[in-house]
Structure 1
Amino acid sequence: MHQKNIVAAGKPVTATSKVLVMLHGRGGSAEDILGFATHLHVKEFSLLAPEATNNTWYPYSFLVPPSQNEPWLSSALKLIEELVDDVLAKGVPLENIYFCGFSQGACLALEFVARNAKRYGGVAAFTGGLIGDKIYSENYKGDFEGTPIFIGTSNPDPHVPVARVNATTITLRNMNAAVTEKVYNNMGHTINEDEIERSNKLVFKA
């Protein structure tokens, strides 16, 4: 299962910190996603990037029945839960904890916050959606209390159907998240400048 291998950057975590949890994509690494932080307005943040065993959070597509991605999916979600608990134990309030992920990491970030909906600082999900062969609404409880969430994706994307992004947005809005969804025609499986600008404005409040 996933080991607790957390790579830190930015400011040290203290009770007054803003903390960004960064989740890399399939085949990526903690260092990769931390490098992306230079594009975000998080210069004063503490950055924490867990690294997946063998650089993959779960083995198959996020669109298969969740049982097929077990026990890796549960292990990944548990790792994030432990990381958040560690940050809370240092006195950081939930509203100062943020999440960012790309591709598989975006799916994982969205799945974690939906299963643990509270007032977070914000979420920036670049090409991702809730995990499963369908939306399992019974897994998602809580109230985001207006947490800002940005989701950007391409139409088409080879891994993430726009329909799943749309369904994810509806689910999160029904849980009182302030979701901004943006679909870019033929962007490819990447992150563009507009997504960065929007996430900085909406989530990181630049």
Structure 2
Amino acid sequence: MTADPHTDAGVHTLVSADSPHTVLVLCHGRGATATSLEPLAQAVARPGVSVLAPQAGTIQGVPQWYPNSFLAPLADNEPALSGALAAVERAVEDARALGVGDAQIVLGGFSQGACLAAEYAARHARRWGGVVALSGALIGTAEADDASPRPELAGAGGAYPDKAFEYDGDLAGTSVFLGCAERDPHIPLARLERSATVLTDLGGDVTKRVYPGGTHAVVDDEVQFVRELLDYLAC
């Protein structure tokens, strides 16, 4: 892979509000599409909220943001990962063009898209309207000094070494939600917990919720949290 696969994929408007006071940017998961998030967008949208969703390009015949597990060495997911972060930036620019500031932009997603949204927010730490990672966690900025695979960091492809999480900036009290099943097959609980610590240290007001079982899906409690966050931003 030698080129950014996401350059021409575009950004979809899932919910449109006249003169929105808040914009939710939602990133889809592996094998899905921007429009597949429309039921979620409709479920959480409030009056005055627009919802935008960037579309991933096709990699190995599948729409996805990067080809390997988010736990894999960063080089294994390049250049797709850098292109994916740039695609989120384009969606953020579209949100700003609707007349809202960063403090009224909520970054979110599901699964691979949740990892991407959380990572974008950490790498561009400032006061956002919110960060909502539904079955996702931070990707990391570099490989850790210890390259030994850790059994507690197991996902697609087996167990992986940890990462370094070296971010600049300040989330300045941004509400950050991390939700995941206790035995999610793709998101190890150890990485979720590490992400909560990193994002707290970065100035985020972090809510971490771990749900019993092993379902990799959006649950009603997460939907309710997003609704309440969007209601709060309307005040």
TM-score, structure 2 normalization? 0.81
Tell me, which stretches of 5 or more residues in structure 2 are unaligned? 141-160
1:24-173 superposed matches below 5 A: 24-54=28-58, 55-132=63-140, 133-138=161-166, 140-173=167-200
Structure 1 Cα separation of the partners of residues 211 and 117 of structure 2: 21
Deviations 1:35-86 (A, max 9, x none): 2112214342111111101220000000001110000000000111122133
TM-score, structure 1 normalization? 0.91
Letter in 2 for 1:6: V
Work out whether residues 20 and 47 of structure 1, in 8 Å CA contact, stay in contact via their aligned partners in 2.
Answer: yes
Structure 2 Cα separation of the partners of residues 184 and 97 of structure 1: 26
SS at match of 1:49: strand
Work out whether residues 147 and 177 of structure 1, in 8 Å CA contact, stay in contact via their aligned partners in 2.
Answer: yes
Work out whether residues 25 and 53 of structure 2, in 8 Å CA contact, stay in contact via their aligned partners in 1.
Answer: yes
Structure 2 Cα separation of the partners of residues 157 and 92 of structure 1: 35
> After TM superposition, where is structure 1 displaced by more than 4 Å over at least 4 residues in a row?
none
Work out whether residues 22 and 34 of structure 1, in 8 Å CA contact, stay in contact via their aligned partners in 2.
Answer: no
Residue 123 of structure 1, CA deviation: 1.5
Structure 2 Cα separation of the partners of residues 135 and 40 of structure 1: 33
- C-alpha distance 70-136 of structure 1, shift in aligned 2 (>3 A): same
Structure 2 Cα separation of the partners of residues 40 and 31 of structure 1: 15
Structure 2 Cα separation of the partners of residues 83 and 67 of structure 1: 24
Rg comparison, structure with higher value: 2
How many corresponding residue pairs? Answer: 203
More helix by share: 1
Work out whether residues 130 and 164 of structure 1, in 8 Å CA contact, stay in contact via their aligned partners in 2.
Answer: yes
Structure 2 Cα separation of the partners of residues 150 and 144 of structure 1: 13
Between 1:26-35 and 1:191-200, the stretch displaced more is 191-200
Structure 2 Cα separation of the partners of residues 63 and 177 of structure 1: 22
Letter in 2 for 1:171: V
Structure 1 Cα separation of the partners of residues 101 and 195 of structure 2: 26
Tell me, which stretches of 5 or more residues in structure 1 are unaligned? none
Letter in 1 for 2:191: R
Work out whether residues 135 and 167 of structure 1, in 8 Å CA contact, stay in contact via their aligned partners in 2.
Answer: no
Work out whether residues 34 and 49 of structure 1, in 8 Å CA contact, stay in contact via their aligned partners in 2.
Answer: no
Structure 1 Cα separation of the partners of residues 28 and 223 of structure 2: 16
Percentage of pairs with the same residue: 39
SS at match of 2:176: strand
Deviations 1:141-172 (A, max 9, x none): 11111110111101101100000000000000
Deviations 1:78-98 (A, max 9, x none): 111122133334532111111
Question: CA RMSD for the aligned pairs?
Answer: 1.7
More strand by share: 2
